Amino acid sequence: MMRKPTYIFLLFLSISARAQLPETGLLWKISGNELKQPPYLFGTFYGTYGIGAEFLDSISGFYDAFNTVTQFVGESGFSTNFKVLNEYLGKYYGQRKMPADTTYKDLLNETDYDYLDLTVRVSARIFMEDANKICPSYLWFIISQAKQSDYMQQVYNVSQKETMDFYLLKAAQGKGCIVEDLDSPEILLISFELLSGKTPLPQSLQESADTLIHNIKRIDSLLNPKRANHKLLRSTKNFEDAYKRQDLSGLERYKKEQLYIIKGDSSLSNVNIDQNMSYLLKERNLSWLEKIPELISNQSTMIAVGALHLCGKDGLINLLREKGYILEVVK
C-alpha cells in the first residue's frame, strides 16, 4: 500500500513527458514579430555547486551569441538584489547592529557562548570580536546561509563555484552592455519572503539570542550529511545531468520529483511547496512576459534566467511562442 502513491506519481511523470514534444537546448534564438536583430534566451544553472560558470564553455554558440549583444537582461541585478535583501532583513530581522554596551557574553551562558564562538569561526568565517557587533537575528541569517553552503559542498562533494548568473552579469557590465532586471523590487521582496520566511523573530535582545542558539542547534541537526535524504541527492544529481544534456523536459521531470520527495519529508520543509514554486516560476514568468517584448524590440539582447523558467507550458519558450515569436535552439 505504501508504494502506490510513488507509482502513481511516476506514472503521471511518464504520461506528462510523453504528452509534449521534448525540448532540448539551453540557448535559444528569438525571431519574428518584426524584430530587427535576433535576441537570445538562455537558461542558467543554480541551486547546487555541481555546475558553475565554467560550463558555459561547453555550450555550442554561447559566446558567439553573448559577444554580439549590447543588452543583458537577468532576473535581478546586484544593486536591486542587495537593496531589496536589506529591506527584507530590516523588515523581518530588525536592527542590524548590537548595542554598543552589549556582547554575547552578556546574553549567553558559558556553554552556549563557546558553541556560538565555534560556529561563527568555522561556518561564518568570522571572529567573535566581529560577531559581537551583529544582532542575533542578523547573525542567524549569516550563519544559516553559510551552513547551507557548507552542507551543499559536503553532501555533493564539490567546491563552491561562481554561479552563471553573477558571472554573466559582471561580464556584461565589463563589456559595456545595458543591464536590465526582469524582477521588480516588489516581486523580489515576495521571493525573499517565500524562500526565507516572513515571521519576525523575537523582538527582545535576550529572546533573540536564545532563539539564535536554538536555531543553530536545529540546523546542525537537520544539515547533518549522515542524515541526508539519499533519494533527494540522487534526484538532484539527475537534475544536474539533465542540465548538462540540455534536456529541458528532464529538468522539469526531476524538479517535480524533488518537490515530491521534499513534501514527503517533514524535516526538509515546513512551507507550502506547491504555492511557493507556482509563484517563483509561473507567476514570475507571466510578469516577465509583460516586460520582454519592449526590452528586445530595439536592442540585441541576451535574457539569462534559471533554466526551469524555460520549461513546460508555463515556461518562457512556450509563452513567447504564444505571443507570436519564433524560438529556435542554437546548435
* Domain assignment present for 129: no
Tell me whether strands 71-74 and 178-181 are parallel, antiparallel or unpaired.
Answer: parallel
In the predicted structure, residue 4 carries a pLDDT above the cut 60: no
What is the pTM (predicted TM-score) of this model?
0.83
* Domain assignment present for 66: yes
**Lowest model confidence (mean pLDDT) among 55-69, 151-165, 269-283:** 269-283
Q: What is the mean pLDDT of residues 12-31?
A: 64
* Number of structural domains found in the chain: 1
DSSP H helices in 157-247: 164-174, 185-196, 205-222, 230-244
Nearest to 209 by CA among 143, 145, 140, 133: 140
Q: What is the mean pLDDT of residues 291-296?
A: 96
- pLDDT given for residue 81 in this prediction: 80
Kindly state the cell numbers that stand for 189. Answer: 521582496
Segments forming the whole domain that contains residue 39: 4-94+161-200+230-329
11 pLDDT band (50/70/90 cuts)? very low
- pLDDT given for residue 237 in this prediction: 92
Q: CA 280 to CA 309: how far, in whole Å?
A: 9
For the stretch 11-32, what's the b/e string if a residue is b when 16 or more beta carbons lie within 10 angstroms of its beta carbon?
eebeeeeeeeeebebbbbbbee
How many residues are given for the chain?
A: 331
In the predicted structure, residue 131 carries a pLDDT above the cut 70: yes
* Domain assignment present for 146: no
- pLDDT given for residue 267 in this prediction: 57
* Domain assignment present for 221: no
Kindly state the cell numbers that stand for 243. Answer: 542540465
Q: CA 199 to CA 186: how far, in whole Å?
A: 18
Of the chain, the percentage scoring pLDDT greater than 70 comes to 90
* Domain assignment present for 270: yes
Q: CA 303 to CA 291: how far, in whole Å?
A: 11
Which one is predicted more confidently, 10 or 300?
300
Q: What is the mean pLDDT of residues 94-103?
A: 91
Q: Hey, is 293 helix, strand or coil?
A: helix
User: 35 with 326: CB under 8 angstroms?
Assistant: no
Residue linked to cell 514570475:
284
Q: Hey, is 251 helix, strand or coil?
A: helix
pLDDT in tens, 101-118: 999 999 999 999 999 999
CA-angle at 131, arms to 139 and 145, nearest 5°: 35
* Domain assignment present for 115: no
Q: Hey, is 247 helix, strand or coil?
A: strand
Which one is predicted more confidently, 301 or 77?
301
In the predicted structure, residue 274 carries a pLDDT above the cut 80: no
**Lowest model confidence (mean pLDDT) among 1-5, 154-158, 223-227, 279-283:** 1-5
Phi, psi dihedral angles at 326 (to 5 degrees): -105, 125
- pLDDT given for residue 47 in this prediction: 78
Residue linked to cell 533573540:
208
CA-angle at 244, arms to 319 and 56, nearest 5°: 85
Q: CA 294 to CA 283: how far, in whole Å?
A: 19
- pLDDT given for residue 169 in this prediction: 94
* Domain assignment present for 141: no
Phi, psi dihedral angles at 203 (to 5 degrees): -85, -35
* Domain assignment present for 29: yes
Q: CA 232 to CA 224: how far, in whole Å?
A: 14
Q: What is the mean pLDDT of residues 12-25?
A: 50
Average pLDDT, the chain: 87
In the predicted structure, residue 217 carries a pLDDT above the cut 70: yes
